Amino acid sequence: MTTHRASWLNGRVQRGEEELFSAFDPALLLGDGLFESLAVSLEAMPGLELHESRLRWAAARMHFVLEDGPNWGAVITQLLELAELEAGRARISLLGPAERPRLLFTVQELPEDLEEKRREGIRLWVSSFRMSPNDPVAGLKCLSRSFQLAAEREARGHGADDALLLGQHGELRECTRWNVFAQNPDDSLVTPTLTGAFLPGITRARLLALLPGLGLSCRERTLNFDELRPEMALFLSNAVYGLVPVRELNGEELTRPRGLDRLLQGLLS
């Protein structure tokens, strides 16, 4: 069976899933590192420069000594060709220790459920866990994802696909791997403000830049959970899936007709 996967670790390129690390590697033992992930193809890598900038910003926050690295686009193209993929999911990881970090690129197939999620939407469950405004890594994409995994597993236990994460006073933050947008009955949009301490998504930023050209407005503000209504549309964004609608929240179907999410998904692709 063909394995459509390839990796690049500090200049060493390989195809397949051969072991790369020692069992005593600090990145494995401590979850010490940062990462970026996005959908890519041989034709386009939307937002790649923004992902690189965000990783460098996060590295500075975590005191990683990050030297100038390779051309990201060239490495990803090389790996896509090696893995025999026209399009796929790329992940760029910066692995500890901070004094001697390593850069790891991987490519693999896009998620099997990507088109289904875009078409059918996902079900959310409000997590019982609350995000703290004082969490020093809340806005970073860290290798350690224990909080997000615990919330996602709780949501799946309720028959949902993912968890909606709130702040300590019931304000919307994000999902475990998505940013959140709400569409009001008048078609205006609102998304949680970044002052709420959560990951500043690249696709979120791209959407905010696209909307004015479509004659649409999106307000960034504190958005409380009790403001949500079944007649409002919710959709989620990330750099792998693009845009997906929310079809159900805490077991309650959202009734607003779709349309805007499909338009925006086409513009993001």
The predicted structure's pLDDT at residue 247: 93
CA distance 51 to 238: 12
Question: 22 pLDDT exceeds 90?
Answer: no
Question: 180 pLDDT exceeds 60?
Answer: yes
Does residue 1 lie in a domain region? no
**Pair (76, 123) in one structural domain:** no
Beta strands in the chain (DSSP E): 6-9, 12-15, 33-41, 87-95, 102-108, 122-131, 162-167, 172-175, 179-183, 189-192, 218-221, 233-238, 242-249, 252-253
**Pair (101, 130) in one structural domain:** no
Q: Is residue 212 helix, strand or coil? A: helix
CA distance 269 to 266: 5
Does residue 228 lie in a domain region? yes
Q: Which of 108, 134, 156 corresponds to the end of one domain?
A: 108
Q: Which of 108, 136, 161 corresponds to the end of one domain?
A: 108
Higher pLDDT pick, 229 / 95: 95
**Pair (134, 250) in one structural domain:** yes
Does residue 76 lie in a domain region? yes
User: pLDDT band for position 85 (50/70/90)?
Assistant: very high
Residue with tokens 């996602």: 152
The predicted structure's pLDDT at residue 216: 87
The CATH number assigned to the domain holding 53 equals 3.30.470.10
Instruction: Please tell me the pTM assigned to this model.
Output: 0.93
Averaged confidence pLDDT in the chain: 92
**Pair (69, 128) in one structural domain:** no
**Pair (91, 122) in one structural domain:** no
The predicted structure's pLDDT at residue 20: 85
Question: 196 pLDDT exceeds 80?
Answer: no
Q: Average pLDDT of 168-195?
A: 92
**Pair (222, 198) in one structural domain:** yes
Contact status, residue 90 vs residue 105, Cβ threshold 8 Å = yes
Q: How far is CA 241 from the centre of its chain?
A: 8
Q: Average pLDDT of 214-228?
A: 92
**Pair (46, 130) in one structural domain:** no
Closest CA to 175 of 234, 92, 233: 234
CA distance 148 to 161: 13
The predicted structure's pLDDT at residue 186: 83
**Pair (141, 250) in one structural domain:** yes
Q: Which of 93, 108, 123 corresponds to the end of one domain?
A: 108
Higher pLDDT pick, 20 / 89: 89
CA dihedral 116, 162, 206, 189 (to 10 degrees): 100
Does residue 218 lie in a domain region? yes
The CATH number assigned to the domain holding 163 equals 3.20.10.10
Q: How many domains does the chain have?
A: 2
CA distance 220 to 190: 6
Q: Average pLDDT of 132-155?
A: 94
The predicted structure's pLDDT at residue 258: 67
Q: pLDDT by residue (tens digit) across 102-120?
A: 999 999 999 999 999 999 9
Higher pLDDT pick, 267 / 165: 165
Angle at the Cα of 45 from the Cα atoms of 41 and 51, rounded to 5 degrees? 135
Contact status, residue 27 vs residue 95, Cβ threshold 8 Å = yes
**Pair (248, 145) in one structural domain:** yes
Does residue 72 lie in a domain region? yes
Contacts of 173 by beta carbon, 8 Å cutoff, 6+ apart: 131, 165, 166, 167, 180, 192, 196, 197, 198
Q: What percent of the chain has pLDDT over 90?
A: 74
**Pair (64, 124) in one structural domain:** no
**Pair (93, 155) in one structural domain:** no
Does residue 51 lie in a domain region? yes
**Pair (128, 98) in one structural domain:** no
Q: pLDDT by residue (tens digit) across 38-49?
A: 999 999 999 999
- Encoding tokens for residue 245? 């609608």
Question: 2 pLDDT exceeds 70?
Answer: no
Q: For residue 13, give its domain range.
A: 6-108
